[in-house]
Amino acid sequence: MNYFAHALPFLDRPYFMAGTGVPDWLTVVDRRVRVRIKHAEPFLHDPDQHTAAVAGGMLQHLRDDARFHNTRAFLETCLELTAQVRDALGAEAGFRPGFLGHLLLEVLLDAALAAEQPAALEQYYQVLEAVDAAVVQRAVNHICPVPTDRLAPMIRQFCRHRILWDYLEDGKLMVRLNQVLRRVQFEPLPAGFGDMLPAARRLVAARRSELLEGIPA
């Protein structure tokens, strides 16, 4: 699952909602900070309401991912997307098909949800912009054994660029995919790769309900 899928059920709980994004934000900006269930659980009833809310959101993310990644729909759709990526990239694809199959499933699920509920995506950004990023970072530093000073700037940048809207357009999605590939030191995608995206979108949208089965709605 990606940012919007994690956050969508919690738009009325700002700091909890922000907490659902913390594991993914840290993966981007500070991989030293490991978010684990054992770290978050003791803070669910912290006297500081923001720390408790952020801990709850982090825990929700981890539990949702564990459920999501073990569903039949996820495994089947990921395999199908991986095969489509391999066909699009050819014999010299290396490890990219498996990585991209998983990545595409998650970002295209966010795209499907955003296409169905654009007002909710706008609300998501409005709620996140109203959250104090420094408070979220302070809560995370209280919860996790390794502190970071990179989370708050990441949250502000994430709000400013509004990248989830880009998932709705193939050309902009290609730019975002290549940014991720550069970060993990993979070769960029060829221009023709975008030709497979419409079919991939249809596949993920058709299985949306199965993919989110058991996830809070």
Q: Check residue 95 and give its pLDDT.
A: 77
The torsion angle over the Cα atoms of residues 51, 60, 145 and 54, rounded to 10 degrees, is -20
> Is 168 within a domain?
yes
> Is 146 within a domain?
yes
Strands (DSSP E) found in the chain: none
Mean pLDDT of the chain: 95
The tens digit of pLDDT for each residue in 1-42 reads: 999 999 999 999 999 999 999 999 999 999 899 899 999 999
The tens digit of pLDDT for each residue in 125-174 reads: 999 999 999 999 999 999 999 999 999 999 999 999 999 999 999 999 99
Range of the domain at 167: 3-211
> Is 217 within a domain?
no
Measured CA angle at 167 (ends 85, 103), to 5 deg: 40
Is pLDDT above 70 for 204? yes
Is pLDDT above 90 for 63? yes
Average of pLDDT values for 44-70? Answer: 97
Of 93, 127, 131, 112, which is closest to residue 204 (Cα–Cα)?
Answer: 112
Q: Check residue 90 and give its pLDDT.
A: 83
> Is 169 within a domain?
yes
Structural domain tally of the chain?
Answer: 1
> Is 158 within a domain?
yes
Please give the Cα distance from 148 to 131 (Å, whole number): 18
Q: Check residue 92 and give its pLDDT.
A: 67
Please give the Cα distance from 174 to 183 (Å, whole number): 14
Q: Check residue 33 and give its pLDDT.
A: 93
Burial class of residue 65 in the structure, from the number of CB atoms within 10 Å of its CB (0-12 exposed, 13-18 middle, 19+ buried): middle
Residue 39: both structure tokens together: 């770290």
Average of pLDDT values for 61-89? Answer: 95
Average of pLDDT values for 164-193? Answer: 94
